[in-house]
Amino acid sequence: MRAIAEDVGVSAALVIHHFGSKDGLRRACDEYILGEITAQGDEIGGGGPGTSAAIARWLGDIDLHRPWLDYFSRLLTDGTELGDRLFDEIVAYTEKMFADGVAAGSIRESSDPHMRAVVLTAYGLSSLVFERQIGRAIGEDGLNTTTGQRIAIPALELFTHGLYTSDALLRAAEEALAKGPQQ
């Protein structure tokens, strides 16, 4: 607590007064991070008239968000209950966002809405976990403004237009799963 207080230029007593303990400070940080993530989702995910400006702000300076991106990345990989809780909260937020989109007619229905939210949450957060590899693969230094700008359109093309031109693989998987496990 002393090191944290020193880093921000306050006394450890002040930190303890406001947050009670190191766990209390961490919970406050987690809530802040979740608030940042959901605010971005609310601003960008709606698809309304301000969406383009919101995307431009986000992609214009990813480094502005670097401290909470780094914090969240560590939480995702540290194997703690706090990281698990934040992931679960983002899944719940994503599932609600998709349900709202289905109700509004802007998102297709899913055979398993919860699993879709889990998969897309994991996909969305993968850039934090694989930041180094993504950046290296495109000649950039991790997740930065250029990387984010390069990811945006191909990712949205995938979500908007899909990947396959046929539903043959989907039908084959459904058929295989309907038959049950084969020996």
* % of the chain exceeding 70 in pLDDT: 94
- Give 3-15 pLDDT, tens digit per residue: 888 888 888 888 8
What distances in angstroms separate CA 89 from CA 11, 35, 119, one per listed residue? 32, 11, 14
Domain ranges of the chain: 22-179
- Give 62-115 pLDDT, tens digit per residue: 888 888 788 888 888 988 888 898 889 889 989 998 999 999 998 999 999 999
Residue 153 confidence (pLDDT)? 92
Cβ count near 150 (within 10 Å):
14
**pTM recorded for the entire structure:** 0.76
Token reading at 134: 């993504």
The CATH number of 22-179, from 1.10.10.10, 1.10.357.10, 1.10.150.20, 1.10.3470.10, is: 1.10.357.10
Checking if the pLDDT of 183 tops 70, the result is no
Residue 32 confidence (pLDDT)? 81
Question: If pLDDT is split at 50, 70 and 90, which confidence band does 36 have?
Answer: confident
Which of 36-50, 54-68, 82-96 is least confident?
Answer: 36-50
Cβ count near 85 (within 10 Å):
14
Residue 91 confidence (pLDDT)? 93
* Cβ atoms 91, 121 nearer than 8 A: yes
